[in-house]
Amino acid sequence: MKYLVLIAYEPSMWADVAPEVQERFHEQHLAFHEAVGEKLLAGEALADTDSATTLRGGATLTDGPFAETAEMIGGFYLVEADDLDQVVAWCRLLPPEYALEIRPCVQIEGFE
């Protein structure tokens, strides 16, 4: 089954982050990549929310994020896993400062 892992954090946490903390985050992401291996289908970091564009009702474009929140979605991973427990175990390798949302993907017939 495929799972999407949304990575949220407060943008202010990066304001004065020390180089050693940045290095720890990098190492934790590398550990995640190594653990997941070939079951990592996709993953990207996202630009800040001030660069977002939202389309509402099919016609109205709005600058900025979909909703006003203290946290922003800063990236995602798409993984293939046997079950949710496996994804949770992998996600425990990522920085604990993140808020992670894990969602199973739904297969819709005719859209494979």
67: pLDDT strictly greater than 90 = no
Residue 89 resides in a domain: yes
Number of domains into which the chain is organized: 1
Reported as a single tens digit per residue, the pLDDT across 1-30 is: 999 999 998 877 777 889 999 999 999 999
Q: What is the mean pLDDT of the chain?
A: 88
Residue 110 resides in a domain: no
Q: CATH no. for residue 21?
A: 3.30.70.1060
Residue 70 resides in a domain: yes
What does the alpha-carbon distance between residue 87 and residue 5 come to, in Å, rounded to a whole number? 9
Averaged over 72-86, what is the pLDDT?
A: 96
Compare 59 and 48 and report the one with higher pLDDT.
Answer: 48
Query: How far is Cα of residue 76 from the mean position of the Cα atoms in its chain?
Result: 3
3-state helix, strand, coil in the chain (%, to 5): 30, 35, 35
Sorted by sequence, the CB contacts under 8 Å of residue 98 that are 6+ apart come out as 7, 8, 9
Residue 16 has a pLDDT of 81
Structural domain boundaries enclosing 17: 2-57+66-104
